[in-house]
Amino acid sequence: MTWFRYRVRLLWAAVLDGIGLFLVGFIVGFAQDLSINPLQPRTSGLFLVLTLIYCSLSWLLGSYTILKLRQVKWYQAIIRLGSASLVSLASAIMIGYFFRLQPTNILFFRGTLIPLFLGLSLWSGIWRITLRRSWPQNQGSRWQVLALPEEINMINAEWNNRHENNNQLPIAKISIYTAKKNIKKNTPLAISPGCISHYSLQELSENSIYQGLAIHSMVEMAEEEMQRIPARWVGSQWLLFANQIDGEKTSFNKQFKRYTDVITSLLLVLLTSPFVLLACLLVKLQDGGPIFYKQRRTGLLGSTFEIIKIRTMGVKAESSGPQWSQPNDQRITPIGKWLRRTRLDEIPQLWNVLKGDMSLIGPRPERPEFDILLEKNIPNYKLRNWIRPGLTGWAQINIPYSSSEEDSEIKLSYDLYYIRNRSTWLDAIILLKTIKIILKASGR
């Protein structure tokens, strides 16, 4: 679970926030001479509710993201921590009012909640700073890469890609022709695709392994450090993904994923139906055109199927043929912009999930017209069709939309990572991140 390594600090921050809430509760109670004891059964449940509120809103409003950003300005940290505390305070007051807790439980008095969340903000800020300094993003050169001279620029370009969160992670790049002199014994070695078939690699590998050096492919390094797998780093090692093909053979994991797809889709249909009906009405009132829009998409192993979306563009948006959606695309209607930001236009695709054409989590299905072009220009592009496409996926929460071949290649690198590492836990993270995008209306 390489994806978990980058979230250990976030988990620690959430645990420390919960501890801080209980400690600050003791202090506030003592300072105001109130009988607030978080360990008493009468109040411990309420403290757990406040902890859940604060942690979930801190996640939603980007307070924990402070730990992942390479550079954080002081006012950004204050805004994120302050907004999480203010919204948590407002939510706690509303809960106290709604459940009539204020007359009987002093914990939900405004005079108690305000110093409680003020102290918690200070506590959270101190621990965010502590975790950033004691658990830095970079801890020296963790990898050395053995590559042909002509591959160095390609590796540099991919490593420093503009979409990469960790674009400054240091790696040492070594030419295979000077490897014997430059390889360090205490740093893992990643082998580039060009070097895998080089005539001198076997002897070099034997000596390195004999000396205790760990040797990996660049695919493994990318999984560990980037949480994506660049297609050009796969080379001829496509069999690394073969055991993940969605075939006819059943397994517990496959059956469980299908079960959760169906149950979750039915629940989402029920929960979102009022919003979908409102969206349909607004689309119809806007220009009188059709409400739904159908498209052919590429599915499992190259098969095609038809998806249904709520129309977000003008009726004649593609009169000149298929084209990628661009930032600030003029073809998108005013209602369509709102639908795309909230992802409501994708909800009808739950029907495709129920039919079995799609899964809730997986690579987003592309249009066949684009697939033909991308397969010609991007190596290993077809690998993304080895599993069932999804309504949302690892690529969608990392790079929102593809508007060029370059974007599609980056998106493919996230899809390849998902194919190699898919699990129930990774699906849960993708689902939670998708919910966050919807709640923040940060889609495009």
- C-alpha span between 54 and 25 (Å, rounded): 14
- C-alpha span between 307 and 429 (Å, rounded): 25
Structural tokens at position 381: 């592009």
Mean pLDDT of 167-194: 71
Using one digit for the tens of pLDDT, what is the confidence trace for 275-292?
999 999 998 888 888 899
Sign of CA dihedral 428, 430, 431, 433: positive
> What's the pLDDT band for 194 if we cut at 50, 70, 90?
confident
Structural tokens at position 123: 């506590």
Mean pLDDT of 108-136: 83
DSSP 214-269: -EEEHHHHHHHHTSS--HHHHTT-GGGGGGG---S---HHHHHHHHHHHHHHHHHH
Q: What percent of the chain has pLDDT over 70?
A: 83
- C-alpha span between 116 and 113 (Å, rounded): 5
Poorest-confidence range of 171-180, 245-254, 366-375? 171-180
Task: State residue 245 phi and psi, 5-degree precision.
Answer: -60, 135
Above 90 in pLDDT, residue 338?
no
User: In 3D, which of 162, 169, 166, 192 has the Cα closest to residue 179?
Assistant: 192
Task: State residue 216 phi and psi, 5-degree precision.
Answer: -135, 165
Above 50 in pLDDT, residue 140?
no
Above 60 in pLDDT, residue 137?
no
Mean pLDDT of 257-280: 92
Structural tokens at position 82: 């302050």
Above 90 in pLDDT, residue 304?
yes
Torsion angle defined by CA atoms of residues 160, 165, 171 and 175, in that order, rounded to the nearest 10 degrees: -30
Above 50 in pLDDT, residue 168?
no
Q: What is the pTM of this model?
A: 0.81
Contact in structure between 145 and 225 (CB atoms under 8 Å): no
Environment class of 51 (CB within 10 Å of its CB; exposed 0-12, middle 13-18, buried 19+): buried
Environment class of 186 (CB within 10 Å of its CB; exposed 0-12, middle 13-18, buried 19+): exposed
CA angle, 166 then 169 then 174, to 5°: 140
Above 70 in pLDDT, residue 162?
no
**pLDDT value of position 405:** 83
Domain ranges (residues) in the chain: 2-134, 143-226, 252-440
Q: Which of 28-32, 57-61, 166-170, 327-331 has the highest mean pLDDT?
A: 57-61
6: number of Cβ within 10 Å: 16
Poorest-confidence range of 50-59, 93-102, 118-127? 93-102
Mean pLDDT of 197-204: 76
Above 50 in pLDDT, residue 188?
yes
Using one digit for the tens of pLDDT, what is the confidence trace for 394-418?
998 888 676 778 888 999 999 999 9
**pLDDT value of position 103:** 46
